[in-house]
Structure 1
Amino acid sequence: MTDISTPNGTSRKRKEISDEGFEPAVKRLKIHDPEEPTYTPEPEPQLESEEEEEVNIPTKRQEAPPEGFDDLYLDTINRGVLDFDFEKLCSVSLSIINVYACLVCGKYYQGRGPKSHAYFHALEVGHHVYINMQTQKVYVLPEGYEVKNKSLDDIKFVSDPRYTKEQVMALDREAKTAWTLGGKEYTPGFVGMNNIKDNDYFNVVVQALSHVPPLRNYFMLSDFSTKPELPKRLSILIRKIWNPRAFKSHVSPHELLQEISLKSNKKFTLTAQSDPVDFLSWFLNNLHLSLGGSKSKPGSSIIQQIFQGKLKVESQAITAKADAGDRLRFEEAAEVTTTINRFLMLTLDLPSAPLFQDELERNIIPQIPLTSILSKYDGLKSQEHLNQRKRYRLLHPLPPYLLFHVKRFSQNKFVQERNPTIVTFDARNLDMAPYVEPNPQFAQPGEPICGEEDVEGAG
């Protein structure tokens, strides 16, 4: 290139050099020509995706309390508001799965994960201590670590009392006195049961069954984690009735009543009265089946082993015929039919109440000894039922525990009448021998009964 001077004093060679350096810049401009647009990712969406990735990253929860802070938040626990007798339902979702109880306010919440109701309750209200109602483990939320502190053992025991065999065996040997949180004295096993509305028929049955030693011991010591809800909830209630470390001197049967209402299709509820005998019959039979008992095999559950006995029933037909004078005559059939029935409780009939009043114009309330109404089962006195005459006799051996049902109510055309007759009995010296068939090993089953009148007449 020649050095040609210009009016500006700049050589042409320098100009060519500047042109050569300008050509690549033109080419770069052509690459980004508007006719061929290129799309570059905007910075804002990239920031949003980065934020989403950060949210989806699982954060590792705290597994243990900070060093030196093992009792953090434990001072917020309020034992006075804790009531574990009600059904374990989440107060928000009404779910029965994975339920926790807040030890500060006593309410039930589901779960303890970052999106659970218990987690949000801890953040919103500031209640941090929760107990799992199934495992009895205590956790601090929202951190999520388990608290292993001996000071919480009393809460765990009240929530789900557990006993050793030695402790259960000592219940009948010595009467213990216990005290509630408020300093009230009570005796374990003899505590009140809440009458929520009209469930007193249920309370009397459970109170009676909880004082049958073999049945009580079975439900206090056995593991019902794999059993149906009915025996499982009865076990919890009986263990709470005999709790020597209870926070209060009464228990609520709400949890068991909810299961009974569900299983009986609302035949027995806490809002309507029912006959205790009807409920007891239903309850024992359903407990028998829930514990694996058979409908055809006797003694296949603890219920039948304790309460089931055998009864011999002799039936004789009565026929009505007209004689020559067109008078109606009743004749007994020569054949006597004998059947063996099994029972869980015996029904005792009361004599009719008197119709007249005494000299003070007050109704007379009669009294009758238990042995008199038990004579129905002595095998000698017969009772007429429609066109049959029947006799009853208990068979050897008797069950370990007898359930007597004194039949007080009878239905007429208008109303249901109640018989006020008082039944007197000796609680410790009841002799059932006169009403039981002799032991077949020592006497023949058909051997006649030898009573006091027969002995005196023989002399």
Structure 2
Amino acid sequence: MADTKTGVKRKLVDVPDDFSDSDDEIAPVKDPKVDKSRSCPYLDTINRRVLDFDFEKLCSVSLSHLNVYACLVCAKYFQGRGRKSHAYTHSVQINHHVFLNLHTLKFYCLPDNYEIIDSSLEDITYVLRPTFTKDDIENLDSNTKLSRAYDKTTYLPGIVGLNNIKANDYCNVLLHALAHIVPLRNYFLEEKNYINIKLPPGDIMCLLSQRFGELMRKMWNPRNFKAHVSPHEMLQAIVLCSKKRFQITKQGDPVEILSWFLNALHASLGGTRKAKSSIVYGTFQGRMKVFTKKIIPMDTPEKDKEELLKTEEYKETVTETPFLYLTLDIPQAPLFKDELEQNIIPQIPLSSLMTKFDGVSEKEYKTYKDSTIKRFQLTRLPPYLILCMKRFNKNLFFIEKNRTIVNFPIKNMDFTEYLSKDPEVQKRNPSASYDLIANIVQDGEPGPGKGTYRAHVLHKSTGKWHEIQDLHVADILPQMITLSEAYIQIWERKDRKAEEGDEKPKTQRQPEN
């Protein structure tokens, strides 16, 4: 058979009619004069503008995930490349010829069925499966250059929009925040760190770490074809691993998914109860002392109270427990109004909320059985401290949102006074000064499952803050962040080098060609 464009005669090789991976092993008979694998005449038909590898790798006809090929002309997925396969049929009927095996990363020309080897296709395989060397990772926080997408738009790696499929912005803001946790990001940019982790047979939790790693590499890819990424596969892994507790079609609570996600990601990495048994615990886990004292019922006679206080049941107990984030209680907003009868939005400093953990302040906790008074005191601060503001309170009729503005500094927040004065504790915490790196805000209707969410993240290399809400990405002044109704915050502990060193010189950013 002669190639219609090159005129070179070529012997066709029969391929199996099934859709198994065996058809990948078929090697075409090469012309001794022309190596057709290196001279495919259809490479100019590839349309990079439509290529999108963020979605689940399923055949668009059979919905199978086995042996799937992407048509590089229309970006649709098809199974197999044998004579009766969907990819083969598509190539004949629609006249599309260049396909990419999404598993082996090999290119093929159909229906002739020969492998294409061409260096000009490397940008496509890199978008499908980005890889980072140690040098690439080390330079991420010092590179200030803008990258240029295929449609000529520019973007900063790490500062890219995430598609909102229907109601998954509560997941998107969390993924944006976690993408800027340096040790977590660096760990997942190297696939070898977690790809071979062995879990018990049938445990699907490994899917969570794999999908999270893929998303991190795509968000920080400096060679993307577009300035946004779809978290579709990551969200599907969350739905599957949470047993549909979290959905992409129903609004959720970022605090609730934060608690689940950190513990689930820790488990997917084979983590145990030991400190630093995974990158999750090593990054976010701190410790605190909990002082608990049971309250004597109000109807107890006075003569019996003294006797009860002497019993073990009513003595104060002390336990030390780990935590991955701290919940801060915002006091109820007073019903003050100004001269125009408008409600006054109260403000409270973050330091006042943190007194919950000073070891002195007490809070009553009620259960259906009894009531207890608890005190909390921090004994170890993690490298990255997550704070969650309790803004929603449920009464008998509806969920009410507390719109109190929490005042906080962007830099140099000192948590020393909330640490135990024990010399051993002080020794384990040489630094208690933190800088804010991520801030999540809830807007709209009250209720953790309602409204919309947006994230403020700091891009370290440029020192600039960005506001991201789904596909919307914009610069924001740090002063505006302090005026927002903060819901979740992530603080980074400052090391001695950062405190003693000078700020990095600001350089003008230029887009990469």
Shared fold (TM-score greater than 0.5)? Answer: yes
2 CA distance for matches of 1:278 and 1:421?
A: 21
Q: Write the distance in 1 (CA, Å) between the matches of 2:30 and 2:78.
A: 22
- The 5 Å alignment of 1:65-80 reads 67=34, 69=36, 70-80=39-49
Question: Within 1, Cα distance between the matches of 2:16 and 2:289?
Answer: 75
Q: How many residues align?
A: 390
Aligned pairs for 1:34-433 within 5 A: 62=28, 67=34, 69=36, 70-223=39-192, 224-226=194-196, 228-294=206-272, 296-320=273-297, 335-386=315-366, 387-396=371-380, 398-433=381-416
Deviations 1:374-424 (A, max 9, x none): 11101011112232111100113x111111111101111110111101112
Is the Cα–Cα contact under 8 Å of residues 146 and 157 in structure 2 kept in the other structure?
yes
The answer as to whether partners of 2:127 and 2:218 remain within 8 angstroms in 1 is yes
SS in structure 1 at match of 2:360: strand
Post-superposition Cα deviations, 1:194-220, rounded to whole Å, max 9, x if no partner, equal: 111100000000000000000000000
Aligned to 1:13: none
Q: Cα distance, 1:325 vs. partner? A: 9.6
Query: Where in structure 2 are there 5+ consecutive unaligned residues?
Result: 1-13, 18-22, 198-205, 429-513
Alignment correspondent of 1:457: none
Cα drift, residue 276 of structure 1? 0.5
Structure showing the higher helix proportion among its residues: 1
For the 8 Å contact 2:285–2:323, the answer to whether it is kept is yes
Root mean square deviation, CA, Å? 2.9
Match of 1:47 in 2: none
CA–CA separation in structure 2 for the residues paired with 1:349 and 1:56: 65
1:297 alignment partner, SS class: coil
Greater Cα shift, 158-167 or 130-139: 130-139
SS of equivalent residue, structure 2 residue 92: helix
Q: Kindly name which structure, 1 or 2, has the bigger radius of gyration based on alpha carbons.
A: 1
Name 1:34's counterpart in structure 2.
none
- 3-state secondary structure, aligned to 2:81: coil
Residue 317 of structure 1 contacts residue 332 of structure 1 at CA under 8 Å; is this kept in 2? Answer: no
Q: Which amino acid aligns with 1:142?
A: P
Contact 1:438 1:444 in 2 (8 A): no
Cα deviation, 1:2-23, whole Å, max 9, x if unaligned, reads xxxxxxxxxxxxxxxxxxxxxx
Structure 2 SS opposite 1:403: strand
> What CA distance in whole angstroms lies between the structure 1 residues aligned with 2:135 and 2:427?
43
> Quick one: structure 1 residues 212 and 443, their matched pair in 2 at CA, closer, same or farther if it must change by over 3 Å?
closer
Asked if the contact 1:63–1:144 (Cα under 8 Å) also holds between the matched residues in 2, the reply is no
Rounded to whole Å, the distance in 2 between the matches of 1:237 and 1:358 is: 48
After superposition, the Cα gap between the structure-2 partners of 1:425 and 1:64, relative to the gap in structure 1 and judged at 3 Å, is farther
Runs (4+) of structure 1 moved beyond 4 Å?
54-61, 63-66, 321-326, 331-334, 442-445
CA contact (8 A) 1:292 1:301 kept: yes
Output one character per residue of 1:268-307: Cα deviation in whole Å (capped at 9) or x when no partner. Answer: 111000110111111111111111112x333321111111
Q: Given the superposition, is the C-alpha separation of residues 444 and 150 from structure 1 closer, same or farther in structure 2, using an over 3 Å criterion?
A: closer
CA distance in 2, matches of 1:444, 1:335: 30
> In the alignment, which residue of structure 2 is the partner of 1:435?
418
Q: Return the alpha-carbon distance in structure 2 between the equivalents of residues 442 and 419 of structure 1.
A: 35
Cα distance in 1, alignment partners of residues 425 and 30 from structure 2: 71
Percent of residue pairs identical: 49
Q: How does 1:448-459 map to 2 (within 5 A)?
A: none
- 1:441 is displaced (CA, Å) by 3.5
Give the structure, 1 or 2, with the largest relative contact order (CA under 8 Å, sep 6 or more). 2
Q: Describe the shift of the 1:354–1:443 C-alpha distance in structure 2 as closer, same or farther (beyond 3 A).
A: closer
User: Which blocks of at least 5 consecutive residues in structure 1 are unaligned?
Assistant: 1-53, 446-459
Distance apart, 1:113 and its partner CA: 2.5
1:127 deviates by 1.1
**More displaced stretch, 87-96 vs 435-444:** 435-444
Report the Cα distance in structure 2 between the residues aligned to 1:420 and 1:370, rounded to whole angstroms: 14
SS at match of 1:388: strand
- 1:127-168 CA-partner distances (Å, limit 9, x unpaired): 111111122221112222221111111111111111111111
Question: Retained in 1: the 8 A contact 2:290–2:377?
Answer: yes
Cα distance, 1:176 vs structure 2: 2.1
Say if 1:188 and 1:244, in contact at 8 Å, map to a contact too.
Answer: yes
Alpha-carbon distance in structure 2 between the residues aligned to 1:375 and 1:356 = 25
Do the aligned partners of 2:123 and 2:223 also contact (CA within 8 Å) in 1? Answer: yes
* 1:189 positional shift: 0.6
Q: How far apart are 1:365 and its partner, in Å?
A: 1.1
Measured at CA, do residues 145 and 345 of structure 1 come closer, stay the same or move farther in structure 2, by a change above 3 Å?
Answer: same
